[in-house]
Amino acid sequence: MIEQGIDWPKLLISCKNNVMEKVTPFLKMTKKPQPDLGIGAGGDPVKQVDLAAETAIVGTLATCGVSFTLISEESGEKTYGKKPSECFVTTDPIDGTTNLLRGISFYATSIAVSKTRNLNGVFAALVTDLFHGTTYSAQKGIGAHRDNKRIAPSQNASLSDAVIGLDLNSYRVERIAPRLTDLIGKTKHIRHLGANALELCYVADGTIDAFVDIRGKLRATDIAAAWLIVQEAGAFMTTTDGKPLNFKLSPKQKVEFVATANDAMHEKILSLIRPEKDME
Ligand code: IPD
Ligand code: CA
């Protein structure tokens, strides 16, 4: 997909290749404590590896002469080139930093490109599993791919056979967990792997049947790329009310969502999540 004279799919591959190269030295330091280098724009502590990955992405784009507004979990918003309002690059340079630093082999880089500051303006996306080297990509209207092969979600609609990802990670668990007990009780296998962009790609390619994060803690930067991959694969991703997701692409923007492989599974899961008002 050529936009503004740029072959974005090719350029995103160059970005992830550079990220993989720059991240490699850090993989030798797993399990050693890494200092916090302050708090990132998304509100979490920043590690050196996060900055190395972000620098790799920005450096690749800048070397190619691209004008863009960066929307990053680490540095926040910055502009590059002469026409930065024509293109927005939303990134979580490393999704799953804790996994990476602990030596848990599940972490990714995530990059989305849009013409506007809104999620529904995203037209090209890439999420790469940095440990296994698997790349998920999507272009608006053209489909989603894993390492250049077209992907499709699972057709399973039965919770008694399902593998469902659920993020209950350390946030308002006393309010969130009770809303999910019906779903947990009816689901065969519950998982949380620790890198939500990649877990959404697992919904897109049929590895798992759904992924749910209703904490209201996750940032827009974590899911902007995976959202397009889920859509283009033909899976479903909405609010808990079943409304389409759309929000401002900003490092401060928080999101919650239900992503599922198919319509029938979507209806089932939405009906099992208790509304927040019932918790009052
Ligand atoms: C984290 C991962 C994790 C989720 C956290 C996120 P990060 O991303 O996606 O699965 O539970 O809420 O912050 O911080 O490693 O980019
Ligand atoms: Ca991150």
Consecutive 10-residue averages of pLDDT for the chain (280 residues): 83 97 86 73 79 96 94 92 94 95 95 97 98 97 97 97 94 88 96 98 98 96 98 98 95 96 98 83
Amino acid identity of 223?
I
Q: What is the pLDDT of residue 60?
A: 97
Ligand 1 atom closest to residue 73's alpha carbon, by position in its atom list: 16
Task: Dump pLDDT digits (tens) for 233-268.
Answer: 999 999 999 999 999 999 999 999 999 999 999 999
Tokens at 120, concatenated: 């529904």
From the list 51, 218, 30, 21, the residue with the least C-alpha distance to 128 is 21
The pick from 196, 203, 211, 254 for probing ligand 1's pocket by mutation, whose C-beta has the most ligand atoms within 8 angstroms, reads 196
Query: Within its chain, how far is the Cα of 229 from the centroid?
Result: 9
Q: What is the pLDDT of residue 5?
A: 84
Q: What is the pLDDT of residue 280?
A: 65
How many angstroms separate the alpha carbon of residue 195 from the centre of ligand 2? 9
Q: Are strands 76-80 and 68-72 parallel, antiparallel or unpaired?
A: antiparallel
Ligand 1 pocket, residue 199 CB under 6 Å:
no
CB–CB of 222/180 below 8 Å? no
* Cα distance between residue 20 and residue 24, in whole Å: 6
Per the DSSP assignment, residues forming a β-bridge with 146 are: 136, 149
Residue nearest to atom 10 of ligand 1 (CA): 194
* Cα distance between residue 280 and residue 253, in whole Å: 24
Q: What is the pLDDT of residue 75?
A: 87
From the list 51, 25, 242, 13, the residue with the least C-alpha distance to 145 is 13
Q: What is the pLDDT of residue 192?
A: 97
Q: What is the pLDDT of residue 13?
A: 98
* Cα distance between residue 90 and residue 93, in whole Å: 9
Ligand 1 pocket, residue 166 CB under 6 Å:
no
Amino acid identity of 153?
P
Amino acid identity of 39?
I
Query: Within its chain, how far is the Cα of 184 from the centroid?
Result: 23
Q: What is the pLDDT of residue 110?
A: 98
The pick from 23, 39, 44 for probing ligand 1's pocket by mutation, whose C-beta has the most ligand atoms within 8 angstroms, reads 44
How many angstroms separate the alpha carbon of residue 137 from the centre of ligand 2? 19
From the list 192, 210, 201, the residue with the least C-alpha distance to 258 is 210
DSSP 243: P
Handedness of CA 113, 116, 118, 120 (dihedral sign): negative
Residue 41's alpha-carbon distances to 74, 100, 189, 252, in angstroms, are 5, 20, 34, 7
Q: What is the pLDDT of residue 46?
A: 66
Closest ligand to residue 195's CA: 1
Ligand 1 pocket, residue 97 CB under 6 Å:
yes
Query: Within its chain, how far is the Cα of 230 from the centroid?
Result: 10
Half-sphere exposure for 122 (CA within 13 Å, toward CB): 33
Residue 59's alpha-carbon distances to 66, 86, 261, in angstroms, are 10, 19, 36
Q: Output phi, psi for 256, to 5 deg.
A: -140, 150
CB–CB of 3/122 below 8 Å? no
CA angle 166, 170, 172 (to 5 degrees): 90
Half-sphere exposure for 197 (CA within 13 Å, toward CB): 34
pTM: 0.95
- CB neighbourhood size of 248 (10 A): 12
How many angstroms separate the alpha carbon of residue 165 from the centre of ligand 2? 19
